Amino acid sequence: MSSAAGPAPGKLPFVVWVLAAGTFLMGTTEFVIAGILPEMATNLGVSVSHAGLLITAFAVGMIVGGPTMALATLRLPQRHTLIGALAVFALGHVVAALSSSFTVVLVARVVTALATGAFWAVGFVIATTAAGPGKATRAVGVMMGGLTLANVVGVPIGSFVGQFTGWRGPFWALAVLSALAAVFVGRFIPQVEERAEVSVRSEVRALRQGRLWLALTAAVLIMGGVLATYTYITPLLTDRAGIPQGAVPLVLIAFGVGALGGTAIGGRLGDRRPMATTITAAAATAVTLLALIPLSSSSVAAVALVFLMALTGFTINPVVTSLAVRFAGDAPTLTSALTTSAYNTGIAAGSAIAGRALDSSLGLTGPAMVGAVSAALTLLPLIALALSGTQQPARIVAQRTDTTAGHQPDTPVTSQH
Q: How many helices (H) and strands (E) does the chain have?
A: 18, 2
Cα(303)–Cα(288) distance, integer angstroms? 12
Superfamily of domain covering 206-417: MFS general substrate transporter like domains (1.20.1250.20)
Matching CATH number, 1-188, of 2.40.30.10, 3.30.230.10, 2.130.10.10, 1.20.1250.20: 1.20.1250.20
- For residue 250, give the amino acid letter: L
Give the CA-trace dihedral at 148, 259, 345, 232, to 10 degrees: -110
**Up-side HSE of residue 275: CA atoms within 13 Å toward CB?**
15
* Intervals of CATH 1.20.1250.20 along the chain: 1-188, 206-417
Whole-number pLDDT of residue 321: 84
Compute the distance between CA of residue 64 and CA of residue 360 in angstroms, rounded to an integer: 31
**Collapsed DSSP state (helix, strand, coil) of residue 193:** coil
Exposed/middle/buried for 96, CB within 10 Å: 0-12, 13-18, 19+?
Answer: buried
Query: Whole-model pTM above 0.75?
Result: no
Q: For residue 177, what pLDDT is reported?
A: 93
Cβ-contact 342, 216 below 8 angstroms:
yes
Residues of the chain with pLDDT under 70: 1-10, 34-35, 37, 48-49, 190-200, 202-203, 206, 329-331, 390-417
Backbone angles phi, psi at 331, to 5 degrees: -130, 70
Which residues are CB-neighbours of 137 under 8 A, at least 6 positions away? 266, 267, 270, 271, 274, 318, 319, 322
Torsion 324-330-334-340 (CA) sign: positive
